Amino acid sequence: MALNNPNPLGPWKITVYDQENFQGKRLEFTSACQNIMEGGVDNIRSLKVECGAWAGYEHSSFCGQQFVLERGEYPHWESWSGSNAYHIERMMSFRPICSAVSLCSNPLNHKESKMVLFEKENFMGRQWEINDDYPSLQAMGWGNNEIGSMQVQSGAWVCYQFPGYRGYQYILECDHHGGEYKHYREWGSHAQSFQVQSLRRIQQ
């Protein structure tokens, strides 16, 4: 089979709908949207990512729960929310994840993903440098179900509360906060604990 990616490096493109199953009012975006209500719709209820990797947010101005959105079709809220402790079915803003590693095979565009996990907050305690996906950190030898702090050296990553890429999503990028996330309060306004049990690179 020909595995030619028609849009290896963008431009980013996302199409959102104000009803489930790609119905209702339809809006196309190729860059960040800070408040979907400015497009004349009250909420996003389905979407298609046509190019690039995106971060979606529960509230306007990129606040609240975070959702990593990779290329494909999302017919309803549950299809992008994953499993979350609270089910407020809202997505009001979104933006491209510019530091996500390209899947393009052009070596000039290739960047490695690399980050360091720390046992304690403020980059203290034992540390572990990673550059791959981990569906279970504990299976790989990490001692418990928490990470104290993280330093993203390259690429973009998504961490999850539960094993197997489930629960709250925290998007971490080398070009935000200087790649430094020294306490769970910096992972996102919805983060309520240090609990992280799986994580993976974001590719596009």
Cβ-contact 52, 96 below 8 angstroms: yes
Choosing from 28, 72, 88, 183, the residue that interacts with its own copies (CB under 8 A) is 72
Q: How far is the CB of 123 from its own copies (least distance, A)?
A: 13
Q: Which two tokens stand for residue 202?
A: 């974001």
Q: Which is nearer to its own copies, 6 or 40 (CB)?
A: 6
3-state SS, residue 151: strand
Instruction: State the CB neighbour count (10 A cutoff) for residue 159.
Output: 27
Q: Is 204 in the site for its own copies (CB under 8 A)?
A: yes
Q: How far is the CB of 60 from its own copies (least distance, A)?
A: 23
Q: Which is nearer to its own copies, 165 or 187 (CB)?
A: 165
Residues 4-23 that bind its own copies (CB under 8 A): 4-5
Say which residues have a Cβ less than 8 Å from residue 120's Cβ, sequence separation at least 6: 148, 149
Residues 134-163 that bind its own copies (CB under 8 A): 135-142, 145, 158, 161-163
Q: Is 3 in the site for its own copies (CB under 8 A)?
A: yes
Say which residues have a Cβ less than 8 Å from residue 2's Cβ, sequence separation at least 6: none
Q: Which is nearer to its own copies, 38 or 73 (CB)?
A: 73
In DSSP terms, 59 is beta-bridged to: 63
**Span interacting with its own copies, options 16-24, 66-74, 106-114, 179-187, rule CB under 8 A:** 66-74
CA geometry: angle at 63 spanning 58 and 68, to 5°? 60
